Amino acid sequence: MKITKAIIPVAGFGTRFLPITKALPKAMLPVIDKPVIHYLVEEAVASGIEEIIIVVGENKKGIEDYFNRSAELEGVLRQTGKQEMLAMTRTISEMAKISYITQTQPLGLGHAIYCAKDAITQGETFAVLLGDDLVITKNKPCLAQLIDAAKKYSANVVGVQQVPDEMVSCYGIASGTALTTKLIKVEDMVEKPDIKDVSSNLAMMGRYVIHSDIFEILECVTPGKGGEIQLTDALKVLNRKQEIYARIIEGTRYDVGDKLGFLKATTKLALEKEGLGIDYKRYLLELLNKESD
């Protein structure tokens, strides 16, 4: 099984970050000095992905400009002798083969994935990385963990982590039989259930490895929670004829579609960034000490 393509859906309006997302795609909000979408593409490439399909909304220019080369900027950097910055900007445009598909109506995650149907070959297995989920790992990238499991078992794989009971209703929940401490054979999936209706707290965390058969299911699946076409509902149907496994993600996941989650991710990466972390930590400690006085 060769997995070389990934879909990254980022077409949402980003209403939780208004008013900035009125002019700037949410995926372009910077975590330190790189936008969220950059981290997702980096993870995909580090996991062996060669071709990335970004599903965008009408406000897509900022994303395209970021990954395209800028002759004007490169010329200025070259003339001013800023070779390191010049190399960095070129590297961004050479990370992977990137194409764009526009989701013209906000009909749900399942619909966003379906919009990329023509970019995936029949019989192909592909990856999905959701734009709100930034996963920081110490060793193997999050998506690579799923791809390894998909290849080992020749199956679909979803990334999961345990969440508190009070958060179960915020996620798609997977349940099944544990095969190892990190792998579950999925028997059922429910999108944003009440805690009383499920026996699991394994929440799907924005990483998937899926067979292309999902598209014919998405084409006819009825709208689910919130009146949207839900990927979870389609996966539930797919699970009737193909095996799906849940891989417990090793790493820290941040919901960067939420303001507090975004700040947590920014703080974590800032503290780890060379040339910034020590001074930033000192500032935070000073700030906390002042607040406690």
Q: Where are the alpha helices (DSSP H) in the chain?
A: 36-46, 61-67, 71-79, 83-93, 109-114, 142-153, 214-220, 231-238, 259-272, 277-292
Residue type for position 222: T
Question: In the chain, what are the domains?
Answer: 5-257 (3.90.550.10), 258-293 (no CATH)
Q: Give the up-direction half-sphere exposure of residue 113: CA atoms within 13 A in the CB hemisphere.
A: 33
Reading the block at residue 203, the tokens are 């929440």
Q: Which among 202, 221, 120 is positioned nearest to 157, based on CA atoms?
A: 202
Residue 293's pLDDT is: 65
Residue 59's pLDDT is: 79
Residue 27's pLDDT is: 95
Residue 68's pLDDT is: 92
Reading the block at residue 151, the tokens are 């290849």
Rounded CA separation 215/38 (Å)? 27
pLDDT in tens, 210-232: 999 999 999 998 887 778 899 99
Ranges of residues in the chain whose predicted pLDDT is under 50? none
Residue 290's pLDDT is: 83
Q: What is the signed CA dihedral for 105, 231, 249, 156, rounded to 10 degrees? A: -130
Per-residue buried b or exposed e for 20-48, using 16+ beta carbons within 10 Å of the residue's own CB: ebeebbbbbbebeeebbbbbbbebbbebb
Q: Which among 288, 104, 128, 284 is positioned nearest to 205, based on CA atoms?
A: 128
pTM (two decimals): 0.94
Rounded CA separation 116/53 (Å)? 7
Element (H, E) at 89: helix 83-93
Reading the block at residue 65, the tokens are 């400009």
- DSSP codes of every residue in 113-169: HHTTGGGS-TT-EEEEE-TTEEEE-SSS-HHHHHHHHHHHHTSEEEEEEE--GGGGG
pLDDT in tens, 139-156: 899 999 999 999 999 999
Q: At what angle do helices 83-93 and 71-79 cross, to 10 degrees?
A: 160
Q: Give the up-direction half-sphere exposure of residue 186: CA atoms within 13 A in the CB hemisphere.
A: 32
Rounded CA separation 173/170 (Å)? 9
